Amino acid sequence: MFLSSWFVLALGTLVGALPKRECVHTVKESVNPPRGWAKVQPAPADHVIELRIGLPQPNFATLEKHLYEVSDPYHERYGAHLSKEEVDALVAPHPDSIDLVTEWLMSHGISEDSMGLSPAQDWVVIKVPVGLAEKMLNTEYHVWSHEASNSSLVRTTTYSLPDYLHEHIDLIQPTTLFSTWRGMKSTIHSSQPAKPDTMSSAPPIKVPSASGGEVDASCNTTITVSCLKQLYNAVGFTPAGGKNGNQIAVTGYLEQFANIADLELFYADQVPAAVNTSFEVISVNGGENNQTLSEAGDEANLDTQFAFGITFPTPATFFTTAGSPPFIPDIGTPTDTNEPYLQWLEFILDQRDPPQTISTSYGDDEQTVPPSFATRVCNLFAQLGARGVSLTFSSGDGGVGDGDPDPATQECFTNDGRNATRFIAGFPASCPFVTAVGGTTFVPEVAISFSGGGFSDLFPRPSYQEKAVTAFLDELAPGTYEGLFNPNGRAFPDVSAQSNNFRIFLEGEPVLIGGTSASSPTFAGFVSLLNDARLSKGLPPLGFLNPLIYAIGAEEPSAFNDITVGNNPGCGTPGFNSSVGWDAVTGFGTPNFGKLKEVVSVKNPLGLVQS
C-alpha cells in the first residue's frame, strides 16, 4: 500500500550534499487567510510536518476524455471503465519532474529512501521539521487558530520555489490550506429526541411516483428506511447480497465513530432481517472506530445506519480516517496530519477493487481551499470515476451561503481581501466530477431551506449540464443576484433526497437528525441498488453519474421526482427558488428508483448510444 512505503525522516540525519543549483526563489502560491483564522505564534522549528508535493500530470486531459466517454450514455464506450493500471499510467508525471524534485530534496539533506511515492508517482511525501520546510520554501510557518471550530493549524500564507521547479511542481501542502473540514448536518435540525408515533393510524399520503402510489403518513414527521423505499419506489427490490460483487461504503472523519451496538438497535427497529450483521471497518492512517457508547458519532451513525440499511444485504464498508481538531502544535505534539481527506483519497486510489458507491457527508467552503489544491483533489475524483466508482457528496447546509455567515448581518463575504458580499459555494460539492446531493423534506416533497446550492467560483460549468443550467438561468429575472454568484460556474446540486427528521440510534437512544448529511448516504443507497441491478445482469457499474443524470433529466424526467416548491436562503437573501426541471436548490430532484432501474438495467441506457 501507498502508506506503508513512507519513512519518517530522522531529524538531524545528514545525507551527502548535492551541488545546489544557482537559482532564484519566486512565489509559487499566496493566499489571504480565511475569515475567522488568527495568527497565534511562530511554529516551533522542531515541529514535524508531512509535506505532500504534487507533480504535474501532463496526460490528465486524456484521462478526462476517457472519463467522459465511459460515463456518457450517448457514447459507444459507455461503461467501459479503466483499470487501476491504466489510470495510474495516465496521471504519471514526466520523468524529468521526478528527477528534478528528487535532486532538490536531496540537496536539502533528505535521503531518497525517506521519500514516499504514490503508485502513479504523482505525489512525493516527506516528513520534515518546520525549520527545514521554511528553508526549502523560503517562508515562515505560524500556528493559526479558528475559534468557531476549535481548530489549530501550522500554516503559511505564501511559499516560494526555485524558478526551475515551478513547471515541475503543481502544489505543496500543508502550506496555504486553511480547512475547517466539517460534517454537513444542520445545526438546527440535528439530534432532536425522537417523538412518539402519533401518525400510525392516519391514512397514507398519496404520491403517484411512490411504490404503490402511497407513503405512510408517519413519514411526514419521521423518516425511516421503509419511508425512503416507499417514497422512492424501491419496495420489493432485494439486492444480491454481494454475490454479484456489489459493495457500498461511507467515509468517516474527525473521530466520528460508527457504533455497532447502535446499528443493532437501528436494524431491530427498521431492518429486522439485518439483525446480527454489521459492516467492515477499514482504518486509514491509523483511524479508529471506538466502540465506547458515549463515543458514538451522530454523523457516522447516520451515514452507516441509513446507507447500509437501505442496501442490506449488500457488503458495506466504513472508512475511518485519522485526524481531528483541536490540534495544538508544540514540540511534543505528533506530526501534523490535519488533511485527512487527501490521505483517504490516496488510500482508496491504491485499492484494486474499491466499492462501486461511496458517500461522503463532509466538506468546506470552496473559497477557503486554494485553487491548486481544489483542482488536484477534484482530479483525484476523476480518477475514481474513470475506474467505475460513483461518488456522492452532501451539497451543504448553508443554502446559498456558507453555513457560518456573520451573525450580525447574516451576510457572506469574499476571501480575497475585499470582504465583498458573495454567495459561498461548497467544496467538494462544487467539483464537476462528483454528484452533489441537496435536501428535501415532507411528503409530498419540498426543498428544505438549508439545501446547499449555487455556482462554483473556481470550476467552469461542465458540458453535461449546459442545457439544464442555461434553462434555469434563463428563467431568472434579469439582474437577479447580479454579482453575487458566477453564472458560468459548475452548478450544484445535481440531485437531492430527504434530509430531515431521520430516525437513528445514538448512544442507545432513538433521535431525529437532519442535514444534507442524510441526503448523500440516502441517494448513494439507491445508486448502490441500481448498481446491484446492473451487476446482476452482467453490466458494469454506473461509475461517474453526472453525464447520465443530466441525460436522464432531459430524456426521461419522470425518473426523478421534480421538486418545484421551496428555496435555499442565505447571505441575507431568499436564495434560489425550486422550479420545473433542474434548479440550484434540489437539482433534478429525488430518485424514482423503479423508473431509474428500468432505464439503467440495459447495456445502453435510454437507447442513446450512437452507432
Which residue ranges make up the annotated binding site? 562-563, 581, 583
- Alpha carbon 391 to chain centroid, angstroms: 7
Are residues 211 and 230 in contact, defined by beta-carbon separation less than 8 angstroms? Answer: yes
Is residue 76 annotated as part of the catalytic site, yes or no? no
Are residues 386 and 548 in contact, defined by beta-carbon separation less than 8 angstroms? Answer: no
Which residue among the candidates 211, 395, 517, 519 is catalytic per the annotation? 517
Distance (Å, whole) CA 233 – CA 593: 5
477-481, long-range: CB < 8 A, 24+ apart? 481/423, 481/573
Q: What DSSP assignment string belongs to 528-582?
A: HHHHHHHHHTTPPP--S-HHHHHHHHHH-GGGEE---S-B--BTTB--PBP-SS-
474-479, long-range: CB < 8 A, 24+ apart? 475/579
Given the DSSP bridges, would you call strands 123-129 and 116-117 parallel, antiparallel or unpaired?
antiparallel
Residue 406: CB atoms within 10 A of its CB come to 15
Distance (Å, whole) CA 424 – CA 430: 10
SS3 string of 331-349?
CCCCCECCCHHHHHHHHHH
Which residue among the candidates 72, 262, 269, 303 is catalytic per the annotation? 303
Amino acid found at 224: T
Distance (Å, whole) CA 282 – CA 280: 6
Distance (Å, whole) CA 376 – CA 122: 11
3-state secondary structure of 27: strand
Instruction: Kindly state the DSSP code that residue 356 receives in the 8-state scheme.
Output: S
What is the chain's percent helix, strand, coil content, to nearest 5?
30, 20, 45
Is residue 298 annotated as part of the catalytic site, yes or no? no
Are residues 97 and 56 in contact, defined by beta-carbon separation less than 8 angstroms? Answer: yes
Going by the annotation, the residues of the binding site for Ca(2+) are 562-563, 581, 583
Is residue 299 annotated as part of the catalytic site, yes or no? yes
Are residues 205 and 214 in contact, defined by beta-carbon separation less than 8 angstroms? Answer: yes
Cell numbers for 147, please give them: 475559534
Amino acid found at 364: D
Given the DSSP bridges, would you call strands 158-162 and 316-321 parallel, antiparallel or unpaired?
unpaired
Q: How many CA atoms lie within 13 A of 563 on its CB side?
A: 35
Distance (Å, whole) CA 241 – CA 529: 11
Distance (Å, whole) CA 257 – CA 275: 20
Are residues 204 and 216 in contact, defined by beta-carbon separation less than 8 angstroms? Answer: yes
Order of strands across the sheet with 509-513? Answer: 192-193, 509-513, 502-506
Cell numbers for 462, please give them: 461542465
State the catalytic residues.
299, 303, 517
